Amino acid sequence: MISMAAWNIRGLNQPLKQNEVRKVIQENNIQVCAVLESHVSVDRLSNICRKVFRDWDWSSNGQVCDKGTRIILGWNPNVVDIMVIAQSSQVVHSQVFLKKGGQSFFCSFVYAKNNYCERREVWEQLNQHKLFTRAMPWVILGDFNEALNMDDWAVGKSKIDLGVKEFRECVRNIEVLDINSSGLQFTWTQKPKEGTGILKKIDRVMGNLSFINLFPNAHALFQPYRVSDHSPCILKFEVVKKKKARSFKFANFLVFKKDFKKVVALEWQKEVAGNEMFKIVKKLKNLKPHLRKLLYAQGNLHNRVDRLRKDLDDIQSRVDENPQDSGLRDKERLCLKEFEEAAYDLELFLKQKSKVEWLRAGDSNTSFFHKALKRKMHKNMVNRIIDNEGNVHNGENVAAVLVDHYSKFLGTESDTNNMNLSNLGFNKLSLVDSVSMIRHVTDEEVKLAMFDIGENKSPGPDGFTSAFFIHAWDVVGKDVCRAVKDFFVHARLLKEINHTVIHLIPKVPTPERVNDLFLFARGEVQSCKVLMKGLEEFKSYSGLTASVSKSTIFFCQVTLPIKRAILDIMPFEEGRLPIRYLGVPLISSNLIASYCKCLIDKVDRRIDDWMNKSLSFAGRLQLIVSVISSMYSYWASVFVLPSATSPLSRIITPRDIYMAGFSRTDRVADMVVDRNWIWPAAWYDLFPVLINIQVPFMSYSRRDVSIWLDYQGGEGEFSTHNVWETIRHRSMQIPCNLKTSTGDGSILHQMMCGLGADFL
């Protein structure tokens, strides 16, 4: 394991800070360390570096700094060799050579200045260094003195300023992305004498795809600040990675090979003893070696495309020299056909692995699929985890911790109580539906279910995707149908088919724990008692216990006395709203434009992503139509979005609106005539997002109201009464002949309804 670090220590002259730097080096077994903002004068460098780095080699940019040394770089010569390529007052470019594995990569240590105008110098230097590194592995770490995303502010920011835009432009030009990280989310703190101060992420570790490809398990760790106001940035990666045996995964592009059905048919016609389901499992298992052989026969797809491209160039050059040679023309035709087929195979292969469903193959987006695959693999990698006891596990130990967690969570036997289901209300099917549920399954239903599965969906443990069954259905279809129908008759499922794969997908940039559950209750003591009682009953039925130390309670418009009483019942840590869950903010009031800043920022970053440079024109159009609009639609399905966050208001300017003869006060009804939009047809070319907006059904005789669906599915105007009638608890109807002094029983009726009784 190689560890590199960059830490803005805010002055290295003090013995305390020298000791802390040394302590971080020892605790993390660091082999390369850059100390930023050292404030050490050039004449004292040798003495200070000897105290901090001991017998290490070191270098600095003190000769190019006006006031003190800004960057000091030290490294262990027994583990690595470092060659300084170039340096300025804000960055040191180097090349790192690893002695154990023999790998080398470029590494830049950054300490950007505070003023955004002065930072333009380092952005330009990084752009120039990109021309030098080209496609070689390159990693950048340090203090950039600027945030990159809206999530990098703890409190939030009203708008994206010029400094952030210029930083984003630099990242887009040099084509780097954040290395997977854990630890502190905000790497810089302003420590005022009073108040909470400012928390912000301005220290980063970023690398290009070549670096991620060379060290796929690279991981960044941001530790607590200690004696500084910046977090130490620590980069860890394995030098020699043990190759694991790869499980079988069917490559979908093989279905277009002429030998595919022949290989399947030869194995499928062999007799296998056993029930119908066992026959399928056995034949699929026996087929794997033959499909592997067919895949290996295609060779390395990348190399094949490169070789055919070179052959095609050579043949076309010879055709230019001998235009009348018909034999060369035939060779060119055959070579071009092979090249197009190989390029399509590669594109299909990368599309399947990258899981980019919104972009179709065949539009020459191979480079984009390849980059998306590398980013996806790195992003979904979990390199650090904290177990239930608070112990930290890194690297290869993470897998064992997760297996142990889910083995205890899902596979541990414990004493539980039997659940009484008699008090639960269930919707009952009609007699016709009940008979339909138990009727015999037909071959056509099995086929429709199989063909409805996306071909690029993740396969099960056996590695076969739906594409295999769909394209080989005329060979395997009858046996598959018999196996499925056999299950519905005998209700037996082999463990080879009943197995599944659990994929853990990180929901946050720095995942460290495995937990996620939200429970909602009214802000009153009685409701919280019911909630805690429910948790106790859940524990008795399932054997699962809520972790008090990892649980948080949020309050919304609850008075202080009631809040204290609730905290006595629910001993959880109090959190503050808003928080984000499933990508949207949980808030206690109407959604306002400021809460949508992260959505707007996400759309902007998705459009400006440097990976989009690899997309064809059709791919960029599909990005806007399918992906960008879906982000907005997802939020719109949860909230009533403020008009300021609408993508139309961001892309269609007031000038466009007025030139088309409309006003900014026009309503949706003003834009629809005879079930058609009346905006200019040219807008569909200028703003492709409009293509996906369906024409609403307009009812001009009714006023605009919010519609509420009740518990029976009926529509009604939204009101608190209708909402309460839908969500209130209903008990059995009881006869009631109550009399009150008023003669109508209205007060008592309302009281009894509040207790859950329905009256006849």
pLDDT digits (tens, 9 = 90+) for 700-709: 676 767 777 6
Instruction: Say whether 667 sits in a helix, a strand or coil.
Output: coil
In this prediction, residue 755 carries a pLDDT of: 39
The residues with which 189 forms a beta bridge, in sequence order, are 199
Nearest partner of 587 among 579, 598, 597, 599, judged by Cα: 579
Question: Given CA atoms 400, 401, 406, 412 in this order, what sign does their dihedral have?
Answer: positive
Beta strands 203-207 and 177-178 are antiparallel
Nearest partner of 650 among 599, 698, 609, 616, judged by Cα: 599
**What is the spatial distance between Cα 202 and Cα 223, in angstroms, rounded to a whole number?**
14
Nearest partner of 216 among 4, 5, 382, 377, judged by Cα: 377
**What is the spatial distance between Cα 382 and Cα 376, in angstroms, rounded to a whole number?**
12
Residues in the chain, how many?
760
Question: At 555, is the pLDDT very low, low, confident or very high (cuts 50, 70, 90)?
Answer: confident
**What is the spatial distance between Cα 231 and Cα 53, in angstroms, rounded to a whole number?**
20
What is 637-653 written as a DSSP string?
HHS---GGG-HHHHHS-
Q: How many other CB atoms sit within 10 Å of the CB of residue 335?
A: 18
Q: How many CA atoms lie within 13 A of 567 on its CB side?
A: 14
Q: Give the residue-averaged pLDDT of 336-346.
A: 85
Amino acid making up residue 87: Q
What Å distances lie between residue 388 and 304, 378, 513, 532, CA to CA?
A: 49, 25, 8, 22
Q: How many CA atoms lie within 13 A of 474 on its CB side?
A: 5
pLDDT digits (tens, 9 = 90+) for 252-311: 888 888 889 999 999 898 888 888 888 888 998 899 999 989 888 888 888 888 888 898
Share of the chain above pLDDT 90, in %: 23
**What is the spatial distance between Cα 583 and Cα 676, in angstroms, rounded to a whole number?**
34
The residues with which 709 forms a beta bridge, in sequence order, are 715
What Å distances lie between residue 154 and 31, 108, 147, 269, 580, CA to CA?
A: 32, 27, 11, 64, 13
Q: Which residues of 378-394 are buried (b: 16+ CB within 10 A; e: fewer)?
A: beeebbbbbebeeeebe
Instruction: Say whether 99 sits in a helix, a strand or coil.
Output: coil
C-beta of residue 661 within 8 angstroms of C-beta of residue 678: no
Rg (CA), the chain: 32
Residue labelled with tokens 């035709």: 333
The residues with which 87 forms a beta bridge, in sequence order, are 92
**What is the spatial distance between Cα 251 and Cα 249, in angstroms, rounded to a whole number?**
6
SS (H, E, C) 265-291: HHHHCCCCCCCHHHHHHHHHHHHHHHH
Residue labelled with tokens 């200045």: 113
Nearest 5°: CA angle at 723, between 721 and 724?
65
Share of the chain above pLDDT 70, in %: 78
What is 469-529 written as a DSSP string?
HHHTHHHHHHHHHHHHHHHHHH----HHHH---PPP--SSSS------------SSHHHHH
Amino acid making up residue 629: S
Residue labelled with tokens 């495309």: 305
Q: Give the residue-averaged pLDDT of 647-659.
A: 68
Instruction: Say whether 38 sits in a helix, a strand or coil.
Output: strand
**What is the spatial distance between Cα 634 and Cα 631, in angstroms, rounded to a whole number?**
5
Span between the terminal Cα atoms of the chain, in Å:
75
Question: At 83, is the pLDDT very low, low, confident or very high (cuts 50, 70, 90)?
Answer: very high
Phi, psi of 612 (to 5 degrees): -65, -15
DSSP state of 690: G
Least confident stretch, 4-18, 618-632, 669-683: 618-632
Question: At 743, is the pLDDT very low, low, confident or very high (cuts 50, 70, 90)?
Answer: very low
Question: At 72, is the pLDDT very low, low, confident or very high (cuts 50, 70, 90)?
Answer: very high
- Phi-psi bin for 369: left (phi > 0), alpha (psi -120 to 50), beta? alpha
What is 577-632 written as a DSSP string?
S-EEETTEEE-SS---GGGGHHHHHHHHHHHH-GGGGGS-HHHHHHIIIIIIHHHH
Q: Give the residue-averaged pLDDT of 682-692.
A: 71
Tokens matching residue 518: 């939200």
In this prediction, residue 411 carries a pLDDT of: 64
**What is the spatial distance between Cα 41 and Cα 755, in angstroms, rounded to a whole number?**
78
Amino acid making up residue 391: N
**What is the spatial distance between Cα 682 and Cα 603, in angstroms, rounded to a whole number?**
23
Beta strands 188-190 and 198-200 are antiparallel
Q: How many other CB atoms sit within 10 Å of the CB of residue 586?
A: 14
pLDDT digits (tens, 9 = 90+) for 520-538: 888 888 988 888 888 888 8
Q: Is 305 exposed, middle or buried (0-12, 13-18, 19+ CB in 10 A)?
A: buried
Nearest 5°: CA angle at 411, between 409 and 417?
80
- Residue 62: which residues within 8 A CB-CB, separation 6 or more? 40, 41, 42, 45, 68, 69, 70, 72
Residue labelled with tokens 């590398």: 374
- Determine the distance from the C-alpha atom of residue 429 to the mean position of all C-alpha atoms in its chain, rounded to a whole number: 39
**What is the spatial distance between Cα 720 and Cα 726, in angstroms, rounded to a whole number?**
10
C-beta of residue 635 within 8 angstroms of C-beta of residue 596: yes
Q: Give the residue-averaged pLDDT of 423-448.
A: 82
More confident residue, 13 or 603: 13
More confident residue, 543 or 433: 433
Phi, psi of 82 (to 5 degrees): -125, 135
C-beta of residue 107 within 8 angstroms of C-beta of residue 137: no
More confident residue, 273 or 754: 273
What is 106-128 written as a DSSP string?
EEEEEE--SSHHHHHHHHHHHHH
Question: At 144, is the pLDDT very low, low, confident or very high (cuts 50, 70, 90)?
Answer: very high
- Residue 530: which residues within 8 A CB-CB, separation 6 or more? 521
Is pTM beyond 0.75 here?
no
Instruction: Say whether 675 sits in a helix, a strand or coil.
Output: coil
Question: At 723, is the pLDDT very low, low, confident or very high (cuts 50, 70, 90)?
Answer: confident
Nearest partner of 638 among 599, 605, 679, 665, judged by Cα: 599
